[in-house]
Amino acid sequence: MMSTLQNGTLFNSCNHSYRQKTEWSAFDIMGNYFVSTRKRWSECRICGKQNVLSPKERETYGILEFSGNIKDLLNEEEQLVAVYLLSELLKGNNNKRWEPLKKKLLQNYPYDIVDSAMETLHEHSLIIYKEEKVSLGWKIKQIKYNEKYLHDIRELVGWTPPDIPIWMSSPFPSLPLPKTTNGKKLHKLLIEQKQLFFQSNQAKIVDVVGNVIVSSSSSVKGYFKFIRILYALYENAEQHRKEYWKTFSQRVFGDTKSIQSNDKKRIQQYFGESLEEYGIIEERSEVVLSGEFTWVYEGHIGTSLAFKDYTAFPRDMINMIKVTSWVPPSMLIIENSALYFSIAKSKLLHKREWSIILGNGFISLQEMSIVYQACKLGLKEVFIWPDLDPYGLQIAQDICRKLNGQDVSVYLFGYTVEWFEQVGVYKPLESYDIDKIGNLLSQGFLHEKISTVLKRMREEGKKAEQEILFPQLSKSDFNQRLIRESIPFT
């Protein structure tokens, strides 16, 4: 056995190579709170010598017992804050970053009410703070609800269990026989997965080297979601459908944000990086617009006049751009990319009178950043030209909401029965299109021309994309048509 002296000699002679380790301690009472600290130490890879480091993170919640109804702890104003806060925590993962959540709270409620409600919930162990060490003490970094009181929290916010989506209750619907090569591959995979799942109630999908991508044993919901995406890719292959991830997500799950980056990575892990042969088009990595304007980027001055037809900014550059001058008083936002580039390159609208921006589906924060800056520099009118389908109107409504509070007039273009009749080439409405039309018509505040064209779509069971109409446009009258045929949109 090595003596203490010998052990110290070994440590001193070692050419230490340290690695840092961490471990959360059990909750202990410290004053009026339960506290769990993330212990930190460095350990030599060679001799095992350890150095204790000061902790930088901890979790805390109060020691007061809670029983009964949460409402009994709070006054009426504090209850409103609690309902808002806990509703946010119930969405998605129960671990929210505090700073953006605090910003939302303070936009809706006074500081003192937020502070007192938070203090009460924390003292009664309903919410747990994850804190980080700062120079003057501890600062809240993240916040989560105490799962011990999940039932009481749900009762307070009026939470009801969500309906089980059909892709989980009926994950393997029947498939028509495939006609395309890629359809046959997907058909074979889906039939195999169906057999595996119903034989053992367990199934998994692996990549070419045997790594598990998704399995029903680790996450039933994740597995069924992957299966639903495979079914939709099968439809793409068989129907020669081409769409962006956002449109694909909207069609499959009814929400452009349902397919997350992890879902995309899993699909690419199985099929490879490019999914064009399965109908998924890569999103543009730029914000694309035309019109006469100038900007500053990291001290450098730029002008759109240096570009021929349109200017394309990398998305990660947008937040560092300050628009310094804006000439055109009118802006046209076009959903359809093919239509956008046709109009921009054909110079149907003068750059000093019109700016044109590519929306490409639901418009992102980067595009809106440019629009907001233009509003402050003289932009007076925004015209939205969506596809002639129910989601086109939904996209236009989304843009209109984002422009609320800006000093601009908003108009909808190309969304009338007259335009619908001119198209000549149509696509059949899907069941989700018909449901969406019903939802839109039930809103009750639509312009008469909009509700009329939605009813026509439903009656005839078809929709259209606007790029088919480009040959009918001419330079001499397009500007006047925009002014004359657009509908005031709010």
pLDDT of 3 over the 60 cut: no
Contact (Cβ atoms closer than 8 angstroms) between residue 343 and residue 470: yes
CA distances in angstroms from 363 to 256, 338, 371, listed in the order given: 11, 16, 11
Tell whether pTM > 0.85: no
Q: Is 132 exposed, middle or buried (0-12, 13-18, 19+ CB in 10 A)?
A: middle
Q: State pLDDT tens for residues 370-400.
A: 999 999 999 999 999 998 888 889 889 989 9
Strand partners, 19: 43
Please tell me whether residue 110 adopts helix, strand or coil conformation. Answer: coil
Please tell me whether residue 191 adopts helix, strand or coil conformation. Answer: helix
Q: In this structure, what DSSP letter does residue 147 have?
A: G
Contact (Cβ atoms closer than 8 angstroms) between residue 238 and residue 179: yes
Quickly tell me which residue has 């909808």 as its tokens.
412
Q: State pLDDT tens for residues 16-31.
A: 888 888 888 999 999 9
Dihedrals φ, ψ of 351, to 5°? -65, -25
Kindly give the pairing relationship between strand 243-244 and strand 280-281.
parallel
Residue 235's CB is within 10 A of a number of other CB atoms, namely 17
Residue 317's CB is within 10 A of a number of other CB atoms, namely 13
In angstroms, the CA 430 to CA 52 distance is 63
Structure tokens at 331: 């802006």
Identity of residue 389: D
CA-only gyration radius of the chain, Å: 29
pLDDT category at 466 given cuts 50, 70, 90 is low
Return the sign of the alpha-carbon dihedral for residues 383, 387, 393, 399. negative
Q: State pLDDT tens for residues 283-339.
A: 667 899 999 999 999 999 999 999 999 999 988 888 899 999 999 999 999 988 878
Q: In this structure, what DSSP letter does residue 31 have?
A: T
pLDDT of 252 over the 60 cut: yes
Give me the mean pLDDT over the 361-374 stretch.
87
pLDDT of 2 over the 60 cut: no
In angstroms, the CA 200 to CA 194 distance is 10
